[in-house]
Structure 1
Amino acid sequence: MGTFLRNLALWIFALISVPLFGTVAILISPFSRPLAHKVAWLWCRLVLLISGVRLEVKGGEHLEPGKRYVFFANHQSQMDIPVLEEALRAFEIRFLAKRSLFKIPFFGWGIWAIGYIPVEREDPREGVKSLLACVERIREGFSVVVFPEGTRSPDGRLLPFKTAGFLLPIRSRVPAVPVALRGTRKILPRGSLYLHPGKVEVLVGPPLPTEGLGPRDRERLAREVRKFLEKALEGP
């Protein structure tokens, strides 16, 4: 399928599927959030299939299926979330997402129903609420994904980290896992609505233990995550 036809097919799919899948997730979530999340995962998988995105996951052997983690990933594209939903599908992941996304009809209602956590980047008090909500998600048995840059990189290079998110694995006493995404920016750059089929590499780093760490250790934990991401993004 040509690139133009893929884009056309994706837009048609989005217009039809977002209200449908969002409604199904909302209806299922009061009875089973994990099942409602399967609906979201299926939607993401179909997006990747229609878009012609091929995934290659490396480092998955570092992770124990069923164990809880806080994943820290670089952020380059709107395609990052579908990619991570597929690559980390064994871990019941939930994302921190900017609050404005939750106001989008059906889409926002759906991600709220499956347990995504809204965050207001400019309001410290809201940030504390989001952190507590994430801790609660982890206690419920879910893993959480954080984009420590806070927004998408315009050129693919890592932006400065917001370190508040590194309190999450420390407070929850679960390992922090760096995850490098390579290729999503080429598929769907920031500011573009026209995708280009291609390959995405997901490079999973070794889990970083947080036992015995306190709030003052968040900067050190952030440096360790950044070191892995920088090395992975510079690779061949």
Structure 2
Amino acid sequence: MDKTGKLILVPTPIGNLQDITLRAIEALKNADMILAEDTRVSLKLLQHLEIEKRLVSHHKFNEHKTVNTIVQQIEMGSLVALISDAGTPAISDPGFLLVRACVENNIEVECLPGPTALIPALAVSGLPTEKFVFEGFLPQKKGRQTRLKFLAEEERTIILYESPFRLVKALNQLATFFGEDRQTCVCRELSKLFEEVKRGTLKELEDYYTQHPPKGEIVIVVGGKKAK
């Protein structure tokens, strides 16, 4: 019987390695090939799990070139697992192009449930959770102010990813467009040893992180505009 190929998206821990699921471990063990955003980062995880598999680099700088080759391998029966450095593939990480190509070629795509930074940050923020919008990373230059102006009118809770090096600038810009008193939560290093959750107004958090330069992965959760 011919082997049926498939693409499986495997979420990996955003910090604590104990957050890997049993299904994720099984998928990685069964895969013929593992696509990794950074093979050096992924190798550490696989060594921790005692899994030896063929690792292939698949990141935002080469995914346009590699998609067709990967699709062909899956069509020939390969079980391919896609992982990113941390969290769920395709969520502010490489993966969308490959998933779309597989869908267009009637290839089965499966995504396992697992770690992602945005949901824990939202849940712990203390801000409304029944409706929210995930923006990922804001444009760094072109279109940034236009996007901020648009989001200033958003009534749902807003979730953003940001670099620690740009956090203070981002909080300052958010305060400019949203108002200094908008309630906000900054989550840093979620699930890691030095996890930190700070809540307050945009101005208060800007002042705090100006005095305490942050390190690590950052999630910003901003309350929506009050409905009239």
- TM-score > 0.5, shorter chain as reference: no
The higher radius of gyration belongs to: 2
Bigger strand fraction: 2
Which structure: greater helix fraction?
1
The higher-RCO structure (CA 8 Å, 6+ apart) is 1
